[in-house]
Amino acid sequence: MRATNSTRLHVVDALRGFAIVTILLLHNLEHFDVYHLPANLPDWMVALDKGIWDTLFFMFAGKSYAMFALLFGLTFFLQSDSQGKRGKDFRGRFAWRLLLLFGFGLLNSCFYQGDILTIYAILGFALIPVARWSDRAVLITAVVLLLQPFEWGRFFVGLSDPSAKLPNPASWQYFGKMGEYITGSSFMATVAGNLTNGKLAVYNWTWETGRVFQAPALFMLGMLAGRNGLFVASEKSLRFWKKTLLLAVLGYGALWGAKYGIEHGIGSEALRSPLLSIFTTWVSFTFMLVWVSLFVLLFEKRLFHRFLNLFAPLGRMSLSNYVMQSIMGSFVYYGFGLGLYFYTGATYSLLIALGLVAIQWLFCRWWLGRHKQGPLEYLWHRATWIRS
């Protein structure tokens, strides 16, 4: 079944908004990459901070990003399908669109070095050659990428010398330098550091965590979900998400158990490190499927629909909100702004995050009451179709 519904997929807007909100929560807990624990906190506050940190990272770390990547691929399909019905090939225009996204990512990186837009812009080119492949070919390619072939190569190399000591990840040397500019009072020094040292840190970290393989796989799975109408409300799609929810819960339990066994049962670093990288991505992937399945199923229930649909305005302006949260967050926590990284633990950072979510939601409601698209979405759209 192909998605032929021309109406807006409100569940996708809401799910994307949910991903944006949860990403913002985690970024605030991390002080937008300034890892600092305030001194002289009472024991009860230290315990509360740890509980909030552990809970939110368990629920959303690696999962919110994966949701965002899945929906990126879905959006590609929707735009490509729309142009295909008019007899036009969208792939060339999509390549230009990715270059524009890279520009937005550089803007975002001026404020937050952990930006994912430039990464999506680069890895998004993987969709162009597979756009006209069969569902089967795309699915096989996505599965191969999800298997993390490079990490398996590291594992088999480790079998030849299990006692080998691995060097520290390359990203560490760059992350270790970020305190020199992020905590300082100069905005221009922060921008320069983010665009140089910060980008090297993030790109190395993206490779080291397997996201170079996982992200294109998620893009492709999102494209397949669009091809098969899985986000269009129907008996078939709801049955699919019910089955996916069950399998994802079972898969998560099995994979988490395997990951725990690897972490505590394999002494060889040369073997443990690649296996942990592999199973960590798989655990996050299955948990992401739990979130997506639950969200889609509950969105169709009257009891939950009104609440979940509150995320839709945020999702319709996801690009604007992603950049906006970086600007606000860097001002709140960095040295050139309020410098609150020095004073706030997870509890206070969560309260700040909820306040920023409220600000963004009110802005989105106000803006969309007067415009069809968010400000950056409008610029992206107009630039995409320039000379069209």
Are 115 and 109 contacting, i.e. CB atoms less than 8 angstroms apart? yes
Number of domains the chain is built from: 1
State the Cα angle at 119 between 114 and 121, rounded to 5°: 135
Residue 274 lies in a domain: no
Residue 258 lies in a domain: no
Specify the pLDDT at position 2.
Answer: 39
Positive or negative: CA dihedral 50, 53, 54, 56: positive
Residue 300 lies in a domain: yes
Residue 337 lies in a domain: yes
Residues whose CB is less than 8 angstroms from the CB of residue 334 and which lie 6 or more positions away in sequence, other chains included: 32, 34, 182, 183, 190, 341
State how far the Cα of 173 lies from the Cα of 189, in Å rounded to an integer: 19
Burial (CB count within 10 angstroms: exposed 0-12, middle 13-18, buried 19+), residue 225: buried
361-366: long-range contacts, CB 8 A cutoff, minimum separation 24: 361/310, 361/313, 361/314, 363/324, 364/313, 364/314, 364/316, 364/317, 364/321, 365/313
Specify the pLDDT at position 9.
Answer: 83
Q: For 13-37, what is each residue's pLDDT tens digit?
A: 999 999 999 999 999 999 999 988 8
Residue 331 lies in a domain: yes
Residue 267 lies in a domain: no
What does the H/E/C string look like for 220-261? HHHHHHHHCCCCCCCHHHHHHHHHHHHHHHHHHHHHHHHHHH
Are 10 and 312 contacting, i.e. CB atoms less than 8 angstroms apart? yes
Residue 246 lies in a domain: no
Q: For 69-108, what is each residue's pLDDT tens digit?
A: 999 999 999 999 999 999 999 999 999 999 999 999 999 9
Ranges of residues in the chain whose predicted pLDDT is under 70? 1-8
State how far the Cα of 22 lies from the Cα of 109, in Å rounded to an integer: 19
State how far the Cα of 313 lies from the Cα of 13, in Å rounded to an integer: 7
Residue 89 lies in a domain: yes
Are 42 and 262 contacting, i.e. CB atoms less than 8 angstroms apart? no
Range of the domain at 322: 10-238+291-384
Specify the pLDDT at position 8.
Answer: 62
State how far the Cα of 195 lies from the Cα of 54, in Å rounded to an integer: 30
State how far the Cα of 310 lies from the Cα of 333, in Å rounded to an integer: 27
Show the tokens assigned to 115: 């930006």
DSSP letter for each residue of 2-61: -----S--HHHHHHHHHHHHHHHHHHHHTTTT---PPSS--HHHHHHHHHHHHHHHHHHT
Are 340 and 352 contacting, i.e. CB atoms less than 8 angstroms apart? yes
Nearest CA to 127 out of 99, 84, 91, 102 is that of 91
Question: What amino acid is encoded at 270 in this protein?
Answer: A
State how far the Cα of 147 lies from the Cα of 275, in Å rounded to an integer: 11
Show the tokens assigned to 351: 């309260």
Specify the pLDDT at position 3.
Answer: 40
